């Protein structure tokens, strides 16, 4: 067989292989495309109408204008940012702290990892029930301890107090999802060669210098990933807030997802609700664009 014939045969095999791959992938693309594209298009379409589920009236961008110019929008956006940023950053700090400890302990590491994964495996509704019991004004363990120790004279209504409601939900969320950061960072820590630290110790580097010059460069990509993924998840979080406060008291825990539910489901203003959801999508898309354009996470060392 000549070289040309061999090349032709290899080309045919390669073409058949690519065709087979496409035949297997195409159904998945169609399936997930329908699940993602159709609801997105329908939501976008609905946002241009008043009462899109009934006697639809086309109003163009009026729903968007009413949402943005409304007095409550910026309050709900601020609440969403406070909740998302505080839970994401504090979960990262807690996860990093525990990961550094577990990475260096000689004994008990497996037990500590098990304890860290336990809250993450619990259903959100169970976690909310647990924390509502712990922080209950009448029978909650936290109030009982504070009263017995003399630190307070009256029980504290954590989830119904205007000042404490959001911090209480943040603490609950950190306990629930802090292990997400822990396991990602621990995996990256364990991938750092021990020789780097041994060489730094010989050269007289302090613990802080070892962290800043060795540990942090290896973790930077993972940290950026956690900030993006967890930040988006917490910005879109609905269940934990709805199950604890329903957005109260006095709207201090009403975030954009809670407001979308209020508009679309409770008030029946489906057009305005989908318009607000569209605004959320645009905001998160802009965050993603800035993340990949400015920070260039693909160039980071992650382990």
Which pLDDT belongs to residue 288?
Answer: 85
> Cβ of 269: how many Cβ atoms within 10 Å?
18
Domain count, the chain: 2
Which pLDDT belongs to residue 102?
Answer: 86
Same domain (yes/no): 118, 222: yes
In a domain, 1, yes or no: no
What is the CATH number for 84?
A: 1.10.3720.10
Which pLDDT belongs to residue 245?
Answer: 94
Note whether 279 and 68 are within 8 A (CB): yes
Same domain (yes/no): 275, 152: yes
Same domain (yes/no): 38, 71: no
Tally the residues of the chain.
303
Same domain (yes/no): 153, 14: no
Nearest to 210 by CA among 227, 184, 189: 189
Same domain (yes/no): 123, 270: yes
Q: Which domain holds residue 34?
A: 7-46
- Secondary structure (3-state) at 245: coil
In a domain, 52, yes or no: no
Backbone φ and ψ for 267, nearest 5 degrees, come out as: -95, -10
> Cβ of 159: how many Cβ atoms within 10 Å?
23
Same domain (yes/no): 17, 141: no
Nearest to 288 by CA among 219, 217, 216, 235: 235
> Cβ of 291: how many Cβ atoms within 10 Å?
17
Encode 220-235: b = buried (16+ Cβ within 10 Å), e = exposed.
bbbbbbbbbebbbebb
Cα 9 vs. chain centroid, distance in angstroms? 50
Nearest to 211 by CA among 83, 99, 136: 99
Same domain (yes/no): 104, 205: yes
Helices 165-189, 109-121: crossing angle, 10 deg rounding: 140
* Tens place of pLDDT per residue across the chain (303 aa): 555 454 444 454 455 556 666 677 777 777 777 777 888 888 888 999 988 878 888 888 999 999 999 879 999 999 999 999 999 999 999 999 999 888 877 666 777 888 888 888 899 999 999 999 999 998 899 999 999 999 888 999 999 999 999 999 999 999 999 999 999 999 999 888 889 888 988 888 888 898 899 899 989 989 998 999 999 999 999 999 999 999 989 999 999 999 999 999 898 899 999 999 999 999 999 988 888 787 665 555 444
Which pLDDT belongs to residue 108?
Answer: 65
């Amino acid at each position: 067989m000549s070289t040309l014939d061999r090349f032709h045969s290899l080309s045919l095999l390669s073409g058949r292989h690519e065709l087979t791959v496409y035949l297997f992938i195409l159904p998945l693309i169609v399936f997930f495309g329908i699940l993602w594209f159709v609801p997105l298009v329908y939501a976008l379409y609905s946002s241009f109408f008043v009462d899109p589920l009934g006697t639809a009236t086309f109003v163009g961008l009026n729903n968007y204008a009413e949402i943005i110019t409304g007095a409550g929008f910026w309050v709900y956006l601020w609440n969403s940012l406070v909740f998302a940023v505080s839970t994401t950053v504090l979960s990262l700090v807690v996860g990093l702290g525990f990961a550094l400890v577990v990475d260096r302990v000689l004994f008990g590491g497996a037990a500590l990892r098990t304890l860290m994964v336990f809250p993450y495996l619990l259903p959100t509704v169970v976690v909310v029930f647990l924390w509502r019991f712990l922080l209950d004004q009448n029978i909650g363990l936290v109030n009982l301890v504070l009263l017995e120790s003399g630190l307070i004279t009256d029980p504290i209504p954590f989830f119904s107090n205007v000042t404490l409601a959001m911090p209480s939900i943040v603490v609950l969320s950190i306990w629930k999802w802090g292990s997400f950061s822990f396991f990602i960072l621990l995996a990256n820590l364990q991938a750092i060669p021990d020789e780097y630290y041994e060489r730094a110790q010989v050269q007289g580097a302090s613990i802080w210098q070892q962290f800043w010059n060795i540990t942090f460069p290896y973790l930077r990509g993972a940290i950026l990933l956690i900030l993006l993924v967890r930040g988006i998840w917490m910005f879109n979080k609905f269940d934990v807030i709805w199950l604890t406060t329903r957005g109260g008291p006095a709207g201090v825990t009403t975030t954009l997802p809670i407001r979308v539910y209020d508009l679309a489901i409770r008030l029946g203003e489906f057009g305005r609700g989908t318009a607000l959801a569209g605004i959320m999508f645009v905001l998160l898309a802009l965050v993603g664009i800035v993340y990949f354009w400015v920070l260039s996470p693909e160039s980071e060392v992650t382990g």
